[in-house]
Amino acid sequence: MKASWRLLLPFLVVLLLPGCAAMRRPVPVPREVPRVRVGLQVSVPTITVSGTGMFQIGIKDSDRKPKLCAPSERWTFVSAAGTVAGAGGQSDSATGEGMKSTDEIAKGIEVIDPDGLSRGVLDATVVILPLESEGFLVLGGRRYRGNLEIFRSPSGLLTVVNIVDVESYLRGVVPNEIGGLSPQILEAVKAQTVAARTYCFFFSGRYASDGFDVLPTVQDQVYTGVDGERPISDKAIVETYGAVMTYEGKPIRANYFSTCGGATAAIEEVWSKEPVPYLKSVPDKEAFQREAYCCQSSSYRWKETWTAEEFEATFKKNFRIQYPKATQPSPEERLVDVKVAERSKSGRVRILEIITPDNVYRIFGDSIRLVIRQPNEQNSILRSTLFDADVQREQGYAKTIVFYGGGNGHGVGMCQMGAIGMAKAGRDFRQILTRYYKGVKLTREY
């Protein structure tokens, strides 16, 4: 609450008296928290939205009166790609006023009310806002803060975007990206929070042509809205409010992953990227330590075993996907050997050779994890490229292939299990971040 002029007057008089100390600089007005656009569903035929409280449905950049909706109402939006006979009703609301009949509009968003009746087709972006301070919008069974926008994507189908402030976005991200949420590892959770916030700033506009910044999946950061929020991560977000990592004054590319297995990787070891000063290979332990900080991870050391038939099947299927322009193995080709042809500075496999009687197929960097998948029902990607390969043969052909490996993830940036180990050893979040991201500064964006 602002003080009245009557209360402030004595202080102003004192400041104006001769000989008084100079007035302090005014406290800067805090910057507004930026918003992030999350592509919750991309190119889908139908979207259904409801709310935990009152909400409204409107049209973006329109002066039409929005439609007020009760919490129990479920509104459905369908991609309308062709003409359908019938006319939309006229009304004063965004879901009716001025809408053309569906036989007049070839493309748009058909609006279906809670009774299953069509309100016509909108050739515009739909905006949905909660009207209660503690009310959330519900999509796909999950609750979300902020607003939703629904529009037609270039494919002709629908995309729904959650527009939410960065701090609220982090509440639905951080618990999904680092496990073991407990007071004991609060500093690791803080480090994860700063990394996730920085990632958001660095990749802002990543999918601008599609109408959003980031995806809610492992392609970016796993975001599950309100239902993913937890007290410990909320505390970490509050205590690092607005903090990001910068290098030469700009937010950094804050990659992170589960377990390094002993040392992280430089970015150029893993992807076809130019070297980055702050993404270098670093050991995950102090000089006096025998084991790495991430040694408590279940993926610190691992073993995977394939029969020759299993290995050939996963290789032939996924090599075609990752290297469609390369010479492809024939169905009849049999496996002779699997050879590590080159390693990177951190010990990861840079080039893996798959050898048959007729050809040598080369797989590079992190693509190895996508081509040589784990021998499990989920066909999960290989945990890391930090491994040795052992091939047992029979009559000149491979019989069994065993990988002895360590770590989980691409290896670039912060090792999350290492961060947890550092937190348990008494390190704070600043020490954690500056270990994994070299030469960075912590600054506040707002």
Question: Is the residue at 10 inside a domain?
Answer: no
Q: Residue 105 pLDDT more than 60? A: no
Q: Residue 85 pLDDT more than 60? A: no
Most distant CA pair in the chain: distance in Å?
A: 101
Task: List the single range of 2-16, 253-267, 272-286, 383-397 with lowest mean pLDDT.
Answer: 2-16
For residue 4, what pLDDT is reported?
Answer: 40
203 and 264 in a single domain? The answer is yes
pLDDT category, 93, cuts 50, 70, 90? low
Q: Residue 318 pLDDT more than 80? A: yes
Q: How many domains does the chain have?
A: 3
Mean pLDDT, residues 284-304 taken together: 96
93 and 204 in a single domain? The answer is no
51 and 156 in a single domain? The answer is yes
Q: Residue 213 pLDDT more than 70? A: yes
151 and 255 in a single domain? The answer is no
What does each C-alpha distance from 437 to 169, 179, 204, 277 come to in angstroms?
23, 21, 20, 9
Alpha-carbon Rg of the chain, whole angstroms? Answer: 28
For residue 377, what pLDDT is reported?
Answer: 86
Question: Is the residue at 286 inside a domain?
Answer: no
44 and 160 in a single domain? The answer is yes
pLDDT category, 233, cuts 50, 70, 90? very high
pLDDT category, 179, cuts 50, 70, 90? confident
- What average pLDDT is seen over the chain? 90
Which domain-ending residue is among 137, 165, 193?
165
130 and 230 in a single domain? The answer is no
400 and 415 in a single domain? The answer is no
Question: Is the residue at 21 inside a domain?
Answer: no
Question: Is the residue at 275 inside a domain?
Answer: no
Q: Residue 25 pLDDT more than 60? A: no
Q: What is the Cα–Cα distance from 143 to 139, expressed in whole angstroms?
A: 7
Q: What is the pLDDT of residues 374-429, one digit of tens each?
A: 999 888 999 999 999 999 999 999 999 999 999 999 999 999 999 999 999 999 99
Amino acid at site 120? G
Question: Is the residue at 107 inside a domain?
Answer: yes
Question: Is the residue at 276 inside a domain?
Answer: no
Percentage of residues in the chain with pLDDT exceeding 70?
A: 87
pTM of the model: 0.86
Which domain-ending residue is among 131, 165, 199?
165
What does each C-alpha distance from 137 to 48, 131, 146, 183, 228 come to in angstroms?
11, 10, 8, 31, 15
Query: By residue range, what is the domain housing residue 352?
Result: 302-405
Percentage of residues in the chain with pLDDT exceeding 90?
A: 84
440 and 345 in a single domain? The answer is no
Of 266 and 72, which is predicted with more confidence? 266
Task: List the single range of 15-19, 45-49, 113-117 with lowest mean pLDDT.
Answer: 15-19
Q: Residue 1 pLDDT more than 80? A: no
Sign, CA torsion 105/107/113/115 = positive
152 and 72 in a single domain? The answer is yes
64 and 161 in a single domain? The answer is yes
User: What is the token pair recorded at 429?
Assistant: 């979040």
319 and 217 in a single domain? The answer is no
Using a CB cutoff of 8 Å and minimum separation of 24, what contacts does 321-330 make? 321/370, 322/363, 322/367, 322/370, 322/371, 323/363, 323/367, 326/361, 327/359, 327/361, 329/354, 329/356, 329/359, 329/361, 330/358
Q: What is the Cα–Cα distance from 39 to 205, expressed in whole angstroms?
A: 11
Mean pLDDT, residues 419-442 taken together: 98
Question: Is the residue at 360 inside a domain?
Answer: yes
Contact criterion met (CB below 8 Å) for 156 and 145: no
Question: Is the residue at 294 inside a domain?
Answer: no
Q: What is the pLDDT of residues 70-80, one digit of tens each?
A: 998 999 999 98
400 and 416 in a single domain? The answer is no
Q: Residue 15 pLDDT more than 50? A: no
